[in-house]
Amino acid sequence: MRMYDVIRKKRDGGELTRDEIRYFAEGYVNGEIPDYQAAALLMAIFYRGMSEEETAELTFAVRDSGERLDFSGISGIRADKHSTGGVGDKTSMIVVPIVASLGIKVAKLSGRGLGHTGGTVDKLESIPGFRTDMPEEEFIRAVNQVGAAIIGQTRDIAPLDKKLYALRDVTATVDSLPLIVSSIMGKKLAADDDCIVLDVKTGSGSFMKTLEDSVQLAEAMVSIGKRAGKKMMAVITDMDRPLGHAVGNALEVAEAVDILKDRGPEDLREISLILSSAILYLAGKAGSMDECRLLAEDAVRSGIAFQKFEDMIRIQGGDPACIRDPALFGKAPYEKEITAASSGWITHMNTEDIGKASLLLGAGRNTISDVVDPLAGLMLLKKTGDPVEKGEPLARMYTSDPERFAKAEEVYVQAVRTGQEAPAPVPLVHRIIT
């Protein structure tokens, strides 16, 4: 078999076989196939697409390219939740303790933020002492002991995806459905979970800007997960506005704590309860989503979900005093308000640009090596659909470097549109796919 023939076949619209996909995957990971041939195949896939069968085989090749985690030592039903990435999306810190407090085990591998989207690992690392680099044995022991743990992805999982993503990033082939599906699901399937709930974002702050594209992505991922023997559900949620009010690491931890204490922004509470209900339903905790919703609500109301979050922080070396009193996180040394230039209604927010404004304040990274300021970010005082008066505060910026304010404010102002009429309401959940 020659890589030249594989490239030509896909270039001409042919369907690659399992053996051809495995030949490419193994050869590229081993260094036998050079970047220029891999890039040619990626571009052919970008233009020609892949069948459902091809996409599944590429996903399984990503899964099998490195270490596969063995969670058989974890007792009980194991579940995971994955978000395709958004702004202000801190639901993992809410959903994980809710479902763990109800007996579902969550051994979660999460990523860091890159670009306009935040990462759960960065957020949790704003808690003093919290460790996201636990060895596998200790990780499994923690899950068995308290029901949940969240760590960063290990270097040995899905090395094919790491190589392909780096290449896609510099060859303009990121926005390809089969490549996105294989990247997300290849990593998810390398972990040993029974149930997977996908939070597929749609709108200006997501990688999928249209509902049609988000539905396609969700359906493809659910189908492949089922092929692999997993119980699957995808919830397509709105990302045409940030989720909650806080955008930035310690700010988002504090807001997640608010939800676990049965208060906080209604949109964040609602999405968190829906995702929790989906996991509980797949895990068989009750016979309907509505019944599972009641269980999740009770876990928050009774305080057992908050207690589970404390337990998880403690076992991962963090100081739970910070979530009992988020003021202990401290405060960025500089803050500045952005005020409304005119009266009216906020009609639209370019959510991706809101994320970029937070990044410019120091809350995110453009490259893997960038250092994140845990106290930097934005607190959104008004969002899409809210009325505003001229001079009224719209957002509050936080940073350790006041020179960052000007550019961040410029990006924020350009991202927010106002008008004289209230916009039509947009649903938080667009569709659920099973």
Give me the pLDDT at residue 115, please: 60
pTM, entire model? 0.92
Q: Work out the mean pLDDT of the chain and round it to a whole number.
A: 93
- Cβ neighbors of 330 (< 8 A, separation 6 or more) are 250, 375
Clarify whether residues 116 and 178 are in a common domain.
yes
What's the CA gap between 117 and 201, in Å, rounded? 11
**What pLDDT, in 10s, does the model give residues 8-17?**
999 999 999 9
DSSP string, 273-319: HHHHHHHHHHTTSSSSHHHHHHHHHHHHHHTHHHHHHHHHHHHTT--
Domain boundary among 308, 324, 340: 324
β-bridge pairing 106-110 and 79-83: unpaired
Give 204-217 pLDDT, tens digit per residue: 877 788 999 999 99
* 38 HSE (CA, 13 A, CB side): 25
Confidence grade of residue 172 (pLDDT, cut at 50, 70, 90): confident
Q: What is the pLDDT of residue 70?
A: 87
Instruction: State yes or no: pLDDT of 192 exceeds 80.
Output: yes
Judged by average pLDDT, the poorest of 75-89, 149-163, 173-187, 321-335 is 149-163
pLDDT band at 178; cut points 50, 70, 90: very high
> Band of the pLDDT at 111, cuts 50, 70, 90?
confident
Task: For residues 161 and 35, give the distance between their C-alpha atoms in angstroms, rounded to a whole number.
Answer: 13
Q: Place 139 in a pLDDT band, splitting at 50, 70 and 90.
A: very high
Q: How far is CA 19 from the centre of its chain?
A: 32
Asked whether the predicted pLDDT for residue 220 surpasses 90, the reply is yes
Please say whether the beta carbons of 38 and 26 come within 8 A.
no
My answer on whether 258 and 389 are in the same domain is no
Q: What mean pLDDT do residues 238-247 have?
A: 95
Confidence check: pLDDT of 157 > 90: no
| Final residue in a domain of this structure, among 288, 306, 324 | 324
Cα→Cα distances 229→217, 226, 232, 288, 304, Å: 19, 5, 9, 21, 31
- Pair 125, 237 in one domain: yes
Same domain, 44 and 98: no
Whole-number pLDDT of residue 116:
65
**Residue 59 domain flag:** no
> Residue 132 is part of a domain; what is its CATH number?
3.40.1030.10
pLDDT at residue 114, rounded to an integer: 59
Place of tokens 């963090």: 318
199 and 126, same structural domain?
Answer: yes
- Token pair recorded at residue 224: 């492949």
Question: Has residue 55 been placed in a domain?
Answer: no
Quick one: pLDDT at residue 31?
95
pLDDT at 245 over 80: yes
- The pLDDT-based confidence of 364 (bands split at 50, 70, 90) is confident
Catalytic positions, written as ranges = 82, 161, 168, 183, 187
Q: Are residues 300 and 339 in the same domain?
A: no
pLDDT in tens, 45-91: 999 999 999 999 999 999 999 988 889 899 999 999 999 888 999 99
**DSSP class per residue in 38-60:** HHHHHHHHHHH---HHHHHHHHH
* Domains held by the chain: number: 3
Residues 372-405 have pLDDT tens digits of 899 999 999 999 999 999 999 999 999 999 999 9
Q: Which pLDDT does position 100 carry in this prediction?
A: 98
Domain residue limits at 388: 330-419
Q: Is residue 148 situated within a structural domain?
A: yes
Instruction: Kindly state whether residues 103 and 227 are assigned to the same domain.
Output: yes
Query: What is the average per-residue pLDDT within 144-160?
Result: 89
- Per-residue model confidence as pLDDT tens digits over 226-235: 999 999 999 9
| Co-location of 317 and 407 in the same domain | no
Q: Rg of the chain over CA atoms, in angstroms?
A: 22
In the block, which residue shows the tokens 């860091």?
112
CATH number at residue 23: 1.20.970.10
209 falls within a domain:
yes
Q: pLDDT (tens digit, 9 = 90+) per residue, 275-309?
A: 999 999 999 999 999 999 999 999 999 999 999 99
If pLDDT is split at 50, 70 and 90, which confidence band does 369 have? low
Question: Does one domain contain both 229 and 348?
Answer: no
Same domain for 310 and 340, yes or no, is no
In a domain, 127, yes or no: yes
65 lies in some domain: no
Let me know whether 307 and 193 are in one domain: yes
Q: Look at residues 291, 324, 357 and tell me which one is the last residue of a structural domain.
A: 324
Mean pLDDT value across residues 38-44: 97
Residue 386 lies in a domain: yes
Which pLDDT tens digit goes with each residue over 319-330?
999 999 988 988
**What pLDDT score was predicted for residue 86?**
87
Domain of 409, CATH number, reads 3.90.1170.30
In a domain, residue 112? The reply is: yes
Residue 336 shares a structural domain with residue 318 = no
